[in-house]
Amino acid sequence: MVQTHEKTATSPVNIAVIKYWGKRDTDLILPTNSSISVTLSKEHLQSKTTIRASPLFEKTRLWLNGIEEINLINNKRIQNCLRETKLLRKDYEEKLGKEIGMDNVLSLSTYNLHICSENNFPTAAGLASSASGFACLVYTLSQLYELPVSATELSKIARQGSGSACRSLFGGFVSWQMGSKRDGSDSQALQIASSDHWPELEALICVISDAKKGTSSTEGMQSTVKTSTLLQHRIDNVVPERMKLMTDSILRKDFSKFAELTMKDSNQFHACCLDTFPPIFYLNDTSRAIISVITEYNDKSGECKAAYTFDAGPNAVIYALKQNIPEIINLIFKFFPPSRENLTFFSDPFKLFSDRK
Ligand code: PMV
What values do phi and psi take at 74, rounded to 5? -95, 5
Categorize the per-residue pLDDT at 336 as very low, low, confident or very high, splitting at 50, 70 and 90. Answer: confident
Q: Is the domain of 191 the same as that of 230?
A: no
Residue 356: inside a domain, yes or no?
Answer: no
Q: Tell me the CA–centroid distance for residue 319 and ligand 1, in Å.
A: 18
What is the Å distance from ligand 1's center to 164 Cα? 5
Structural domain harbouring 144:
5-197
Q: What is the pLDDT of residues 180-206, one digit of tens each?
A: 999 999 999 999 999 899 999 999 988
Of 197, 216, 245, at which residue does a domain stop?
A: 197
HSE-CB of 95 using CA atoms within 13 angstroms = 9
From the alpha carbon of 18, which atom of ligand 1 is closest?
Answer: 13
Ligand 1 contact via 119 beta carbon (within 6 Å):
no
Alpha carbon of 21 to ligand 1 centroid (Å): 7
Residue 132: name the closest of 357, 353, 307 by CA.
353
CA of 1 to the centre of ligand 1 (A): 45
142 lies in some domain: yes
What is the reported pLDDT for 356? 46
pLDDT tens per residue, range 81-137:
999 999 999 999 999 999 999 888 999 999 999 999 998 876 655 666 789 999 999
Q: What's the mean pLDDT in 333-355?
A: 53
Average pLDDT value over all residues in the chain: 91
Residue 352 inside a domain? The answer is no
Distance 268 CA to ligand 1 centre (A): 14
Indicate if the pLDDT at residue 247 is higher than 70. yes
Supply the residue whose CA is at minimum distance from atom 9 of ligand 1.
311
Overall domain count for the chain: 2
- Name residues whose C-beta falls within 8 Å of residue 237's C-beta, 6 or more positions apart in sequence: none
Name the domain boundary from 164, 197, 230: 197
Residues 126 and 191 grouped into a single domain: yes
Measured over the CA atoms of residue 157, residue 120, residue 176 and residue 27, the dihedral's sign is positive
Q: Which band of pLDDT confidence, cut at 50, 70 and 90, is reported for residue 346?
A: very low
ipTM of the complex: 0.99
In short, whether 312's Cβ falls inside 6 Å of ligand 1 is yes
What pLDDT was estimated at residue 212? 66
Residue ending a domain, among 162, 180, 197, is 197
Ligand 1 neighbourhood includes 161 CB (under 6 angstroms): no
